[in-house]
Amino acid sequence: MVMAMSDARSRPRALPDRDTLARQAVAADPVKSVWVSANAGSGKTYVLATRVIRLLLAGTDPSRILCLTYTKTAAAEMKDRVFRRLGEWVSMPEAQLRKTLEELENRTPDSDRIAFARNLFARALETPGGLKIQTIHAFCDALLHRFPLEANVPGHFEQPDTEMVDALLGQARAEMLAHIDGDTGGDLAAAFRTVIELSGESGLDGLLDEAIQSRSKLTALLREIGPAETRREHYLDAFGFNDDDTAERIIAGALSSLTACRPVVRQVLEASAGVSAKTGRNFAEGFLAALDAVETDPPGAYAQCLALFFTAAGKQRATGTLFNDKAVLTVPDFELAYESALETAGRARDRIALLSQIDNTLAALAVVDRLLEGYERLKRARGYLDFDDLIERTATLLLRPDVGAWVRYKLDQGIDHVLVDEAQDTSPVQWAVIRSLTDEFFDGQAARDVRRTLFAVGDEKQSIYSFQGADPASFGEAGEAVYRKARHVFGPEGFENMPLQTSFRSTQDVLTAVDTVFEHETNRAGVSRDERPTRHVSLRTDQPGRVEIWPMERASDDDEPTDWTAPVDAPPLPSVVVAGRVAATIADWLASGERLEGTGEKISAGDILVLVRSRDAFVGTLSRALKNHGVPVAGADRLRMTDHIAVLDLLALAKFVLQPADDLSLAAVLRSPLFDLDEETLFAVAYDRGREPLFVALRRKAEGSSRLRAVCAVLDAWRERGRTLPVYEFYASILAGENGREKLTGRLGPETPDMLDEFMRFALAQERAGLPSLQNFVSVLETASPEIKREMDPAQAQVRIMTVHGAKGLEAPVVFLVDRGAPPHSAGNESRFLEAKANEGKEIILWNCSGGPKSDVTEAARAEVARKAGEEYRRLLYVGMTRAADRLIMAGYAGKRGGKGDTWHGVVERALAPFSRTVAYSDFEALRFQVTKAPAVMSEASEKAGTSQTVSLPDWFSDRVEREPPLPRPLSPSGASGIAVEQERDTAQAEETPSLLTVDSVDGSPSFAIKRGLAIHRLLQMLPSVEPEERPVRAVEYCRRLETRWSGDEIEDVVSQALSVIDDPAHAALFGKNSAAEAPVMGTLTLGGERRAVSGVIDRIAVDGDRVLIVDYKTNAAPPTAAEHVPDTYLRQMALYRGLVAPLYPEKTVETFLLYTAAPRMIALPRALLDESLAVFNSL
């Protein structure tokens, strides 16, 4: 998992108060074991880094410190923080360093102490083994490599990357399905049929997907319950069944018990004679009839009895009318007999259902076992241990009774201090590893006389990774266990439980909103073990923020028209409405220069984070809405490889190479950027060909088309490569060797290169895994569909749209929290493997199939899953709200029946509405929650802008303003031919001035000369704003994007021509810092005896001393050699530009030039020539 750390933009950091400093000092004390419960934004990373530094200052050898982080990104940031602070001490002035150390250790350092502190940076770097700040997986990897024999792992084992794991799992899945296909009569095939019958094809896919995700848990179960022959016995014993129990035996036992009720029921039947009410009589007749059928049809008799007590949906029937029946009231024992019969029938039904669930579970486990066995075999053959293996093998090694003690003894001599970051996300098996490492810290029998410590920092309120095995209760339970051990050995000074409550991140308005929401006991359930409400305190005193609750947008209740042909203005979907509101609001902020109340800084796109619960269609809808409003937005933080169209095009190519008769794949390849065949041409090839394959039709049509012949030649070459080259080389030859990468990127957008890189990495991983065939690659890729994780960089100044899970550890000044209106838990999203309670409270897995029976055991397990899902749902809300530093906006959308109950929006609105006021937007009203009364903070820029200054007004300020002339359609200087507006294309088509704008190629496409002129034009516009040393590289990159078919020599020619103009000393002023490109200009001039409005865009303008230089670029293929040969149209254009610009610079001389990009050639236009041309113009 990839997780970025805090990304707050540069702004003054809130200073800690005395209480915070005191708590941080205790938490960083190197002689105590400390359990830190840190609220969001309370500086836990700073405390962790400070503790490492305090340990180093205390003389601890860097190699004896082990700091375990949750991600590689967190480890890298932790190292950076530690080494940056130690590095600053090396050159810090002595007085400042003395003060720093005194604040850190609460004592005055002497000169030796100061010298020791300066050497810590080098000591930490040079110590063999170094400072171990790493993930727990990296630690386990190193440990297993150190003790491979003891751990029973290959000494040369490798850790496969994500692509490799996906490839192996995909291969194992493909092999399993192939094995089932060839073993139609075996046990595995029978189990497979059972799974398909109960859950369908989609259910099978879901089962296999979840088996892959939960492979560690399922592998442990399969190991525990033994081989297939003994598994049923294990399950029967776990749930209290006898080995010979069957549904028939259970039914027989139930019917035997029910027969005991016959006399009482017969009394009811006899009493019903002459009674008008039929309820009692009907029940008695039905019950007695069922008992009469016991001998001939036991299953039928049992079914009849069940129907008397339960509805078809399985619900218990109401008894009010039955118990009040006159006949029933005359039989005192009936109600007790009814309850006994009900319990007997219900228990039998439940036991039969549970027995059936056991058999179904065994079938599912048989399929899963074959899948995981194949995966393990593929790993074992290559010497791989994946992430789960590392943790499991390490835990097993440390707990082995024969060698575990010796391994721990060896570690006992190398680790004195263990620090655990994000401890709330540590899984139970990871805690087992940590306990094995640290238990001896507190038994008083260490190999050395050193006070050894365990430090953990986390926040159970932010435990949101249950799908990775994290258990929020483990954090508190582990802390209590360490507390007991440390206090027992070292006394009260041996352990501290230290909460950090003050936030450096968020304003008090945001934090008070969080407290108000979670002070309700219902909302707090599962968020924190503390029965008291959580309190957050902001260190950003007197900095106002705000929280808003926008209305939940629900789908309309109007029925859809029955006549689908009738015109109708369909109301937009609720998600579209909310996306539009969010996008419009952000666009308005950016356009108006909206400022944050707490800092006075302008809001930028990079300050905004939109959080959602899951990556559904709303993410794409919002992204489009933002783009439509001109708001920069980052791409998705996670993408499935097979969802990207570039990957689909490459897969289609592989399918065609493997099977040329695959018409659909060939059509996709032809329409892709690789060939860019237009729809008309493809239709002409494909239409009216009968049963003829498309490839054959393409060859036939190619006989009369040179373009199609070229396409066929390329396809034949690729088919030949597909048969002979490995997958990676096959695709590399197309993407790199034949400009396929540039073609795909040019058409499909800036995200494409990243996706192509991941695609090629996957291809390489599959080759390394020993799965080299193209057919195998296609099968595995479509099966595995790897997920690509992308880092979101706030420095890019783009709005980020992420899930709350993905935003863990991030923050932003402005956060939109969008609720999709779905309930906290959905039965459709339940785990397919339920951890059910068996006898003696032991948990065992049952398959939760959609089409099977339900038992009380599984219903109780499902209820527990729903409870835990609701708790994590509320923790997700806490994490989402606490990402906001200054502004938090709660929005939501839902269907007709959604958005109610305990959804995020409902929880927040109910809690904050009584304390909020209504604010109006253009199309809706919202609630605004604020508690800070301080005024908005003004930034330094705002204060400077607001400083008044007395200046003298110019003389013309009091002159009478002339009346504006009536303005007809503005005249364009580039089209000035008489008074008519004439485009350059018209002049360009004149015989004496052939233009590059005139297309004369055979196929109607621009020639190289045309593209060359346009490229030079664009480069002359852009490159002056680029640093000189970067211009050649940027120019080449632009040319490659502009035209992927250009050779390197052609690109070099274009770039060198453009740079020769810019770098020419004679043109230095034109492209210097006092110049601008594409300068719009508009004004009024007297032309032909009347005032005319004139507007245009000057290609380049520059101010050089007492001169103003104007340049217009021309694309004529045959540029003139001197000013006298310049067409009159161009002279009149430049004369008008000069007339517009001259009044703006009354004390400067305006000089005009034409730059012909085809040469390139710069021609200065004499003033007299322009005056003559303008005079002729005025005489027309």
Binding residue positions: 38-45
User: What CA–CA distance (Å, rounded) separates 905 from 893?
Assistant: 9
Phi/psi of residue 1174, each to 5°? -70, -35
DSSP structure class, residue 1144? G
3-state secondary structure of 498: strand
User: What CA–CA distance (Å, rounded) separates 788 from 149?
Assistant: 36
- Greatest alpha-carbon span in the chain: 129
Both tokens assigned to 538: 């902001």
The bridge status of strand 608-612 relative to strand 800-803 is parallel
Q: Is the Cα torsion angle 502, 506, 510, 514 positive or negative in sign? A: negative
User: What CA–CA distance (Å, rounded) separates 914 from 433?
Assistant: 48
Bridge partners (DSSP) of residue 837 are 843
Taking the CA atoms of residue 88, residue 92, residue 98 and residue 101 in that order, the dihedral angle to the nearest 10 degrees is 0
3-state secondary structure of 146: helix
Helices 247-259 and 334-382: angle between axes, nearest 10 degrees: 170
User: What CA–CA distance (Å, rounded) separates 323 from 337?
Assistant: 12
Q: Are 30 and 417 in contact (CB under 8 A)?
A: yes
Per DSSP, the residues of 925-944 read EEEEE----SPPPPPHHHHH
The 3 state secondary structure assigned to 715-726 is HHHHHHHHHHCC
Write out the binding residues for ATP: 38-45
Strand stretches in 509-554, DSSP E: 537-538, 546-554
Rg (CA), the chain: 39
Task: Give burial (CB, 10 Å; 0-12/13-18/19+) of 1122.
Answer: exposed
Kindly list the distances between the CA atom of residue 879 and the CA atoms of 40, 223, 246, 762, in Å, as whole numbers in the listed order. Answer: 8, 37, 50, 33
Kindly list the distances between the CA atom of residue 282 and the CA atoms of 271, 304, 467, in Å, as whole numbers in the listed order. Answer: 12, 13, 52
End-to-end CA distance of the chain: 74
The 3 state secondary structure assigned to 378-393 is HHHHHCECCHHHHHHH
Which CB contacts under 8 angstroms, 24+ apart, belong to 114-123?
A: 116/57, 117/57, 117/89, 118/89, 118/90, 120/53, 120/56, 120/57, 120/86, 120/89, 121/83, 121/86, 121/87, 121/89, 121/90, 123/56, 123/62
What b/e string do you get for 143-158 counting C-beta neighbours within 10 Å, with b at 16 or more? bbeebbebbebeeebe
